[in-house]
Structure 1
Amino acid sequence: MRMDLNNRIFVSIIMPTFNDMEFIGKSIDSVLNQTFRNFELLVVDDCSTDETKSYIEKRKNQDGRIKYLSNAKNSGAAVSRNLGVEVAQGELIAFIDSDDVWFENKLEKQIAFMMENNYLFTCTFYNKIDTNDNDLDTIITFPFETNYNDLLKNNCGNSTVIYNAKKLGKFYIENIKKRNDYLMWLKVIKKSSKLYCLDEVLSSHRLRQGSISSNKLDLVKYHWKVYREYEKINIFYSLYLTLFWIKKTILKRGKR
C-alpha cells in the first residue's frame, strides 16, 4: 500500500441512517471491505423504527471498528452528521450515505491523493446505481480544483468527500432538512480555500424509485435557503445561483 497509509493515518467514517435496512448492509460491507483498514465507522441512527439498532449491534460484535450512535430524538441528517463529527477520532473525516457503496480501493486511493499532494479537502467522481445494484451508466464528474465561488455552482457527491480534521478542525452544520451536506462543504472550503477532486469513479450513489423527479420545488427552496440565510449572499446573486442550479440540475435530469 502506498506510503504505508494504514500505519500513519486514522479515518473516521460517518454514516447517518434512518430506516434503511434494505441497503445499509451493502453500504457497511463496502466500508469494511476497503483495502485501507485503519478506520472507525460511526453509524448514526436517527431513531429508526425498523431493525437498524439490533442489526448494527450485531455487526459491531463482528467488527470492532463499527460504532453505533443514536440521536436523542428523530432530528434529520444534519443532526446525525454533527453527532458523528463530534465523536470522531480520526485525523481525516469521510462521509457515506447508508444506501451508497464504495469501491474497495476508495479510501486507499483518495487518502494517498491527499497525503502525496498535501490536499486538505477532496472528493472523487462517482457513478449511479439502481436499487438492484445495476450500473445506470451515469458518471458524475467534478472539476479538479474548486474554490468557494465555484462550489456555489456545483455540489460534490456526499459519499465521496474526505477532509483533514486535524489541520482544518471539525465542521458542524445548522439543522437544515435538505442540502445540509452542501452547506457543510461550503463551510469547509472557506477554511481549506480549495476542494480537489480525484478523477476516478470510487463511489456509487443509489437512485431509488421516484427520487429523480420528486420534490423539485422543495429542493429549489432549500438551495435558496442555503444562499440567503446561511451564506448571506445578496438577493440578486442568490437568484442567479438558484436559477443556475435549476438549469444545470433539474432541467438536465428532466431530459433523461
Structure 2
Amino acid sequence: MKKNEPLVSIVMPSYNSSQTIESSIQSVIEQSYKNWELIIVDDCSSDTTWQILQAFATKYENIMCFQNEINQGAGASRNLAISKAEGRFISFLDSDDLWTEDKLSEQIDFMLTNNYGFTYTYYRRFDSNAEYGVVTAPKQTNYKKLMYSNVIGCLTAIYDTKLLGKRYMPLIRKRQDMGLWLDILKDIPKAYCLPKVLAKYRVGNGMSANKVKILSYQWQFYREVVGLSPIRSLAVFSVYAVKGYMKHSK
C-alpha cells in the first residue's frame, strides 16, 4: 500500500451470482491500488452465492458480506453497502462485471490530481464467449445532458464523500444508478471522464428481449423519480430512446 492512499469502498450487490461473482471479486483483489474495502450485500440468493461470499470474507479482512432478510432489489442492497462504507471514495461493481487491475489507481489519481468529486471511465462489453466493442463516454457531463443519456456506466463510477458526503440511490427496481448520478449533479456542475477502458461489462443473454421493459422503466423514471410532466417526459424520453439505440447498435 502506498503511503496516504485514501480508503476506497467498493459496493457490490449480489443475487444468484454463483457463476460469476468469484471472478468479479478476484478483479478487486488484484487491484494495484491496495487500500480498499469490498462490501457485498446479497439479496437472498437461492444458489451458492452466500456460501462463496462467506468464504471470501473469512479469508480477506477487507471483504465484508451482508444478507438482506427479504429480497429488496439492487438499489436497496447498494444503499446498505453504502451505509456500511468507511472509505472516502465510493465505487461500484456488480457481481458479474470486472475491473482492470489499474482501475482504482488510475481513477483515484485522476480525481485527486484534479480535485474532481465524481468521475467515470470507458468500459468494454463481453460475455463468456468473446469481448465486444468499447463503450466510450464524453469528457464531461452535467445534469441536463445526463437526463437525455446515461453515459456513466455504474461499474466505472466513483464519487468523493469528502466533497459530496454519502449519497444513496433511490429505492426503485431499475435505473437506481441514474437517479444517484442526477442527485449528485444537482449539487456539482459536472462529472468528468477518464478516457481509458478500466472495466468490463458482462452482456446478459436476455438483453434484446428486455428492451421494451427497459424503455418502460425509463418512462417511469422520468415521471416518478425526476418528476417531469407527461409532455416533458415524452420529449426527454424520445431523445433518450434514440441515443440509446445509437449507443447499443455500435
Instruction: State the TM-score bracket (shorter-chain normalisation).
Output: over 0.9
Q: CA deviation at 1:166?
A: 2.2
Matched, 1:150 2:145: yes
Structure 1 Cα separation of the partners of residues 108 and 6 of structure 2: 9
Matched, 1:90 2:82: no
Structure 2 Cα separation of the partners of residues 87 and 34 of structure 1: 21
Tell me which amino acid in the other structure corresponds to 1:245.
Answer: Y
Select the residue among 68, 71, 77 that pairs with 2:65. 68
Tell me which amino acid in the other structure corresponds to 1:29.
Answer: Q
Q: CA deviation at 1:208?
A: 2.0
Q: CA deviation at 1:85?
A: 0.9
Kept after mapping to 2: 8 A contact 1:216/1:250: no
Aligned residues: 249
Q: CA deviation at 1:252?
A: 5.5
Structure 2 Cα separation of the partners of residues 192 and 34 of structure 1: 29
Kept after mapping to 2: 8 A contact 1:127/1:203: yes
Q: CA deviation at 1:100?
A: 0.3
Matched, 1:28 2:50: no
2:196 corresponding residue in structure 1: 200
Structure 1 Cα separation of the partners of residues 69 and 177 of structure 2: 21
Structure 1 Cα separation of the partners of residues 155 and 17 of structure 2: 16
2:186 corresponding residue in structure 1: 190
Structure 1 Cα separation of the partners of residues 47 and 121 of structure 2: 32
Structure 1 Cα separation of the partners of residues 193 and 144 of structure 2: 16
Tell me which amino acid in the other structure corresponds to 2:56.
Answer: R
1:123 corresponding residue in structure 2: 120
Name segments (4+ residues, structure 1) moved above 2 Å.
233-237, 250-253
1:140 corresponding residue in structure 2: 135
Q: Any stretches of 5+ residues in structure 2 without a counterpart? A: none
Q: CA deviation at 1:224?
A: 1.4
Kept after mapping to 2: 8 A contact 1:12/1:41: yes
SS at match of 2:71: coil
Q: CA deviation at 1:63?
A: 1.3
1:7 corresponding residue in structure 2: 4
SS at match of 2:186: helix
Select the residue among 171, 174, 190 that pairs with 1:175. 171
Select the residue among 19, 22, 38 that pairs with 2:35. 38
Range that drifts further, 158-167 or 225-234: 225-234
Kept after mapping to 2: 8 A contact 1:153/1:241: yes
Q: Any stretches of 5+ residues in structure 1 without a counterpart? A: none
Structure 2 Cα separation of the partners of residues 25 and 149 of structure 1: 38
Kept after mapping to 2: 8 A contact 1:9/1:38: yes
Kept after mapping to 1: 8 A contact 2:154/2:177: yes
Give deviations 1:205-235, integer Å, cap 9, x for gaps: 0012222x12222211211122121112233
Structure 2 Cα separation of the partners of residues 252 and 203 of structure 1: 17
SS at match of 1:20: coil
SS at match of 1:152: helix
Select the residue among 207, 210, 213 that pairs with 1:215. 210
Structure 2 Cα separation of the partners of residues 215 and 52 of structure 1: 24
Range that drifts further, 16-25 or 61-70: 61-70
Kept after mapping to 1: 8 A contact 2:149/2:244: no
Tell me which amino acid in the other structure corresponds to 1:127.
Answer: R
SS at match of 1:204: strand
1:78 corresponding residue in structure 2: 75
